[in-house]
Amino acid sequence: MSTTKIQLADELQPTVPETDYVDVASEIANYVVTNMLRFSDRLHAFLNERYDAAPTSAEHAMDFDAVIAQEVLNWVRNWPK
């Protein structure tokens, strides 16, 4: 089975600054995004196990995760040129 990658908006595919090596700039961006996604997955798994015992606190932590996710998108959109 072949796969096709999703085409993302240009704003989510930043241009590498002229002063940077493409592979290193890409590695930095991918490291941050990958690890933030990992954190989000781990946080949700952690919260799901505790949700029944502390739903308000779990929701508050999920709101925090949403803020972080939005900031990661903003961070990519504001990549230096």
Question: Exposed, middle or buried, 10 (CB in 10 Å: 0-12/13-18/19+)?
Answer: exposed
How far is 69 from 61, CA to CA, in rounded Å? 12
How far is 24 from 58, CA to CA, in rounded Å? 37
Give residue-wise pLDDT tens across range 10-64. 888 889 999 999 999 999 999 999 999 999 999 999 999 999 999 999 999 999 9
3-class DSSP state of 17:
coil
* Residue 58: how many other CB atoms lie within 10 Å: 19
Q: What is the pLDDT of residue 3?
A: 80
Q: Which two tokens stand for residue 3?
A: 């796969």
Q: Of 48 and 9, which is predicted with more confidence?
A: 48
Report the number of secondary-structure helices (H) and strands (E) in the chain.
Answer: 2, 0
Q: What is the pLDDT of residue 6?
A: 80
